[in-house]
Chains A and B, each alone.
Chain A
C-alpha cells in the first residue's frame, strides 16, 4: 500500500497511468462488466482526455466515473503507484464544481447532507413513511415510486429506521471510568439504522475502564458528499465535527464505521487545513481517530471473551469480511481477526476473496443496483462456501448490503454481525451453546456487568 502523503494529488495525475491493465484484475465492477469504463484504467483514460480538453465532462463521462465502488482495490494493485482513488475523487470534485451534479445525485445529497439537520429531517420523515418503502409494498400499488427516499433503491431489503436514533438516546459523557477519555464517532448508519451497534460500542469501551463520551452534535463524516464531489460541504461538516469533539478533551475517538474511520483519518487532515484550522488543532483530532477494532485490540483482556476454545459442532463458525475502507484504506486487517480468534466458543473459518468489495460503495448501490447485486452475489457465494453460520465484518454499510444479498439469495439464515455485536453478545451471553438466531444486543449494563465479573 502506498497511501503516503497524498494531499498533493491532482486531477491531471491520471496521465501517470501507463495503461497496463493490472487494476482490472482486482476491480469488482470490471469483474461484473468487462468493459473499459468499469475499471480504473478506463477511468484514468477518460480523466486524462478531459484534462486535455479532448472530451467534455458531460453525459457518459459522468456516468462512467460514477460506475465505481471507490473500494480502492485498483489503487492498491497498481504497480505504477498511480493514486487512482484520489484522482477519481478529484475528478468528481471538478465535475461537481463545473457542470453541477446529476439530478439524482444532488437529490440524494440534498436530502442526505446539505446540513446534518436536513438529513435528520429527511430520515425522520422517512420513518413515518417507512411502511411505504419496503418490499411489503406491492410494486403495483405505485406507492413505492411515489415516496422515493434517498437511501432506498428499488427492491432491496433495507433495515428499519431505528425507533430512537443513537445520538438522541446517548449524548454527553455517558460513562465515567478511571481510564482514558474516549469519544464515540457514530456515523450515520449506526446512528439511524443500527443504534444497538453504537450501544454495544459504548458497553465495550466502558468495559475497558474508559470514560465514554458521545458528543451529541456530531454530524455525518461527509463521505457521501465527498464521493459526490461536494468537497465544500464536507469541509463544513469536518469543521463542525472537530468543534464538537474538541470540547470533550478526549484521548481518543473511536468509530465502528469503516468508511467514517477512513474518511476521518485520511481526508480530514487536508480538509481542515483547507478550512484554515491550525495544524495543532487538526492533529489533536485526526491523530486520535481509531477504528473500534484497533481500540479493542489495544485494550486487551478486558474485552476478550474468556473460556475454552471449542472447535467443530460445539463452536459458532464465523467468517470475516474485510471492509474495503478498513482493511485496504486503514490497513486494519489483523486486529479484527485476532479479536475473533481469541474468542471462546467461536471458530473462524476462511473465506475466499475475503477482502473483495461487497458491492455497496455508498450511493453506487442505489444508482447501479444491478451491478452492485452482481458484485454482492460473488461475496454471498464465497460466504456460503465458507460454511460459516455468521459472517462478521466491521462496517454497518457492509452489513446492510451483505444482509440484503444473503436474503436475496435465499441464505437469510446466515447472520451478519459487526465485530462488536459478536463480542457484546459473547460477553453478555456466556452460555456454552451459542444461538445465532435471535441474537440481540443485551444492553449496556448487562455487558459491563458480565465483563466486570470475568
Chain B
C-alpha cells in the first residue's frame, strides 16, 4: 500500500480517538516532535498523546485503513533517530502512559506502563530495598518503553545485563491493531515463541509496547568505587581481563582513553598522572564486608597490571568525585568541537586494545579528533568523532572515518551498536554485519506483522537514503 499524507478526514478521526486536547497539528507542536537526541529534524504531520492501549489500537487500525505512517515515541532520547518521523505521518507518544501499576515485593516484579521514566521506577523500587539494574546514562529522562524498544544497556550491564534481561512480559499493540500479551509472570516459561525477546530491541517497528512486567532484584547493600589509571591502553585492557577472570564481577567497569582524559583533566578534583593513557572507573557491589575485600583484591589486580594511580571512595561525595571523571566527558568534549558523532560499537572484550589502536590510526589517517570511552567490561566502546558542522570538509572526513570504524569493528568480530540501536544512523552500514539472508528473514518478519508498513517505516534494514531529502534545514543553509 502506498502511504499518503494525513488528510483532513483522517485528522478528524484521530482527534476523535484521543480527544482534541491530546493531539495537535499546529506548526509549533510539529517542530516540538521533529527531533530526538540524534539531533536531526523531520516534521511529522500530527502528534498524538493517546491514553491507553485501546486508543493506540484504534489509531493503528486507522493507519492501516487510511494509509499513514505511525512513529512511536517515548522520551525522544534515542541517539540513532528511532523516533524521527522520516516519512511524515503521526508521532504517537507514550507520555500519558506514565503509571507504575504495581510493585510486587514478594515476587520481585513490577508492572509499569511504557511511558514511565526509568529513574522514577528505580527510585520507587529502591524505597522497598529492591533494585532495577538497567541504568542507561539517560535513565532519569528516558522511558522504560523506549529502553525496551532499544534494548538499552548502561554501565551496570557488565554485571547485571541489559534491559532485555529484565523484561518478563509485555502488553503490545501490534501494527495491525491487535492488543497482544507476551511472556509470563512466572520466572520460567517456554510456552510458544519468545515474542518478548523479538519485541525487545525492535526499535518501534514491530509493535507499540504499552505495558511491561519487569524483573527486580534485591538492592545491593554497599558499593565500592575505584578510579585507576595506566600508562598504556594495553595495561588497562589486561587489568580488565584480569578483573573479569578474578572471579569478581564488577558492577561497573568504565574505560577512558588518553584523549578523553585530556578533555576532562581540568574538571577533576583529583590529580591524574600526566603519563596516564587509560583510565578505569570500577565499582563492585554487595554486602559491606565483601565489597571491602573485593576492593582490596582489585587494587592488587590493577597494580599488577601496571596501575599508576588507584583511588577509592568511601563517602557518597568521594564516589561522586570519582564519577566526575566519567560524567564530565560530554561537557568537556563540547569545548573542543560543537558536534560529536557518538558511535557505540561493541567488540569481544579482548579486542578492545585492537579497536582503540585501530581508531587512533583512523583518526590520524582521516584527520579527525576522536575521543574514546565506554563500557570496557562488556566491550562496548563509545567512539566519539568531534566535528564542526560548519567545516564541510571535516564533516566529509568524519563520514569516511565512520565507515572505516564500522569496517574495523566488524573485522574484529564486533557489532555496529552495543546499545543505541540502528535507527537511521547506522542503517547504511547494517549490511557490513548482517548477511543478506539474515537480513531477509528480518524483512519477512516485518512484512508478516506489518503488511502495510505503517509502523516506523524506513528504519534499520528498511532504510532509504532518499529520506534525507525530507530533513528540515535552516532556509539559508
Query: Which of A's residues lie within 8 Å of B, judged by CB?
Result: 16, 18-22, 24-25, 34-37, 42, 45-46, 49, 52-56, 59-61, 64, 79-81
**Could you mark each residue 238-254 of chain B with 1 if its beta carbon is under 8 Å from any beta carbon of chain A, else 0?**
00000000000000000
Using CB atoms, name the residue of chain A closest to B338.
A16
Looking at B30-38, B162-170, B304-312, B450-458, the stretch in contact with chain A turns out to be: B30-38
Answer whether residue B10 sits at the interface, using C-beta atoms and an 8 A cutoff.
no
Name B30-79 residues within 8 Å CB distance of A: 31-39, 49, 75-77
Supplied contacts A22-B141, A34-B98, A80-B330, 8 more A-B pairs, CB within 8 Å: A18-B39, A20-B37, A20-B77, A25-B119, A25-B140, A45-B32, A54-B31, A64-B28
23 contacts between A and B (CB under 8 A): A18-B39, A18-B339, A19-B39, A19-B76, A20-B77, A21-B75, A21-B76, A22-B140, A25-B117, A25-B140, A34-B115, A35-B95, A37-B32, A42-B32, A45-B31, A45-B35, A46-B28, A52-B475, A59-B26, A79-B327, A79-B330, A79-B334, A80-B334
Q: Which of A22, A52, A55, A79 contacts B474 (CB 8 A)?
A: A52
- Cβ proximity bits B330-341 to A, threshold 8 Å, 1 near / 0 not: 110010001100
Q: Are B28 and A55 in contact (CB under 8 A)?
A: yes
Nearest-CB distance from A95 to chain B (Å)? 13
Contact B33–A60 (Cβ < 8 Å):
no
Q: Which of B31, B37, B38, B140 contacts A46 (CB 8 A)?
A: B31
Complex CA distance for A37 and B24, rounded to whole angstroms:
12
**Tally of B interface residues using CB under 8 Å:** 36
- How far is the CB of A420 from the nearest CB of chain B, in Å? 30
The main secondary structure of chain B at its interface with chain A is loop
Query: Which B residues are closer than 8 A to A by beta carbons?
Result: 26-29, 31-39, 49, 75-77, 95, 98, 115, 117, 119, 138, 140-142, 327, 330-331, 334, 338-339, 472, 474-476
User: Which B residues are CB-close (under 8 A) to A42?
Assistant: 32
A421 to chain B, nearest CB (A): 32
Instruction: Tell me whether A19 and B26 are in contact in the complex, defined as CB-CB below 8 angstroms, given that A35-B49, A52-B474, A81-B331 are known contacts.
Output: no
Question: Measured between alpha carbons, how far is A79 from B472 in the docked complex, in Å?
Answer: 25
Q: Is the CB–CB distance between A37 and B29 below 8 Å?
A: yes
Distance, CA A125 to CA B32, complexed state (A): 43
CB distance from A374 to the nearest CB of B (A): 14
Report the minimal beta-carbon distance from A60 to chain B, rounded to whole angstroms: 4
B37 contact set on A, CB distance < 8 A = 18-21
Residues of B within 8 A of A34 (CB): 95, 98, 115
CB distance from A166 to the nearest CB of B (A): 41
Is chain A's interface secondary structure helix, strand, loop, or mixed overall? loop
In the assembled complex, which residues on chain B have CB atoms less than 8 Å from the CB atom of A16?
A: 338
B117 — which chain A residues lie within 8 A by C-beta? 25
* Contact A21/B142 with A34-B98, A45-B34 known, Cβ cut-off 8 Å: yes
Q: How far is the CA of A422 from the CA of B75 in the complex (A)?
A: 43
Q: Which partner residue on chain B sits nearest A35 by CB separation?
A: B95
B138: chain A residues at CB < 8 Å are 20-22
CB distance from A396 to the nearest CB of B (A): 32
Q: Quick one: which of A49, A54, A55, A81 contacts B334, CB cutoff 8 A? A: A81
Report the Cα distance A49→B29, complex, angstroms: 11
In the complex with contacts A19-B37, A20-B37, A53-B141 CB distance below 8 A: no
**Which residues of B are found within 8 Å of A20, using beta-carbon distances?**
37, 77, 138
Closest beta carbon of chain A to B470's beta carbon, Å: 14
Q: In the complex the two chains form, what is the Cα distance from A53 to B475 in whole Å? A: 8
Task: Write the chain B residue with the least CB distance to A64.
Answer: B28
Find out whether the CB atom of A46 lies under 8 angstroms from the CB atom of B32: yes
A63 to B, closest residue via Cβ: B28
Nearest CB of chain B from residue A132's CB, rounded to whole Å: 33
Nearest to B49 among chain A residues (CB) is A35
Report the separation of the CA atoms of residues A22 and B139 in the bound assembly, to the nearest whole angstrom.
Answer: 10
List the B residue with the shortest CB-CB distance to A15. Answer: B474
> Chain A: which residue is nearest B340 at the CB level?
A18
B259: min CB distance to chain A, Å: 18
Query: Within the complex, what minimum Cβ distance (angstroms) separates A148 from chain B?
Result: 26
Task: State A21–B141 Cα separation when bound (angstroms).
Answer: 7
